Structure 1
């Protein structure tokens, strides 16, 4: 069987088609941020979350858009280094969220509870923040999370 055989060309064609298909699937796959652990220290105890950390413009822009569910104990942490005034919205977001606006030292500045899915109303931070944690709506109330509570994650420092 030489390089000019019909079998050789058929195999090359199959390999090229497979490579093209894999390339299309890779492009269609959702962009997911890195997953890390985060703790919130409240009067009722320490609550641990697994969070995706959105550090790039692309990750922050997409956020939790188009997702149909977010399990309890999971969320997305937006990194807005350096600290700045931010506004969030719920465009293309199908699930209600609690948004925790967090100062650079890890102190929760403000909480927007049960934000309205698909709303384009802006939700301001109320001052400069380093990050925003989005968790499933109702989490803050359920766990007793309040402004002034502390978030432990490498993003925040005691400086």
Structure 2
């Protein structure tokens, strides 16, 4: 079942249970999917990788907003953002732990013979493709920097 069908099923459930946070989150996913499908060049269909990127973007937006609200002492606004992020994360593949990411990074560094920060772009490109949807770029970047420096 595609992402759009999953979202629609979850929306029905959220409407029946009157779960406003889940409903708002699911509507955001549906809206983003429709926008992406109607963009020029999309051809009406999105690949699974594109769907994952879209969902990751939505989660990142919510988490970034929550961190800004927290910095400003607005916990009342941060909590709903984090709740929405949790709902949206359900549609992502299971996230890898830092140890698992580190293992992939070390294997990649050994495979291409990376020796310093000048090779960070190569390593990031390979690891990001390999772990698409399973880890966020910020975590990968941090681990790559630690291993190459």
Scaled to the shorter chain, the TM-score interval is under 0.3
Larger Rg: 1
Higher helix share: 2
Higher strand share: 1
TM-score for the superposition, normalised by structure 1 = 0.21
